[in-house]
Amino acid sequence: MLMNKLSKQPNSVSITKTLPNTTSKEISIYNSHITDKKLKEFSTKEDLMLMNSLIVRWATYVGVETPEASQLNMLANFIKEHFPTFNAYDLKECISMLASQSLETDAEHYGKISPIYVSKVLKAYQEHKNNVVFKVRENIEKLRETEVVPMPNEERILNFKKLLTIAKGEVMQGLTYIDSGDSIYNFVKHNKLIELSKDLIAEAMDYGGKLYIEQRKKKVTETVIKNQNFKRVADMQFEKEDIIKKYAREFVVNRFLLKMELPELLQKINIEMLKY
């Protein structure tokens, strides 16, 4: 069996061993993408020397003359500007693939390393790299899914009973219960615990529309007072329908909670009722 170990990195995950259906080369490309210094961050003399040495290697591998010092600097700056998210490993791998003719490109150097030639080659590598990164991320997610240990049925039932008890307590205090993740709504709908009549749906949507207007006004006022960007307000307008439906579902949940006989329902709950 393949042993896998994922280690946390900022904003993502790097792989320290092997991953099913993934080559070691693909893992190296992915890891360098996650952890290595980007070309846009290159600023020191050592960084420039590294870039120049890689361009010299490029020229040697494809059998053309080494560019003059001024040309090397120009090419290094060109690559840094147009491929800022690349890293040194990307350049090494691109050159290696180019030399072994495993990179899919019809770029011709015509005897020298020019910006046009470099751009065409690196764009081909960019496509290859994007495919690799996407594939590795997908395989990481598949691996995670297989490693998730399902919660015991008894624990699931107990946790949901606690959730219902808390929710019931809030509505009995005159509060509106916020159904995060639609957990209770999906439970109610799956088990047909409330009739979703046309009148109830209309009432819920009306409530959702009014609450949306109220919340949008609050957001506008807050944005003006705090001198914030209006993007969040614009996002609300873009997501208007989804937000209204979310409020409508919460209306249904709160109506259910008000009428629900908690002790009776708690005794009835079984694992089949939570399979939604």
Q: What are 32-86's pLDDT values in tens digits?
A: 999 999 999 999 999 999 999 999 999 999 999 999 999 999 999 999 999 999 9
Instruction: Give the global pTM.
Output: 0.52
Q: What is the C-alpha to C-alpha distance for residues 1 and 175, in angstroms, rounded to an integer? A: 53
The residue ranges of the chain whose pLDDT is under 50 are 1-11
pLDDT (0 to 100) of residue 141: 86
pLDDT (0 to 100) of residue 31: 92
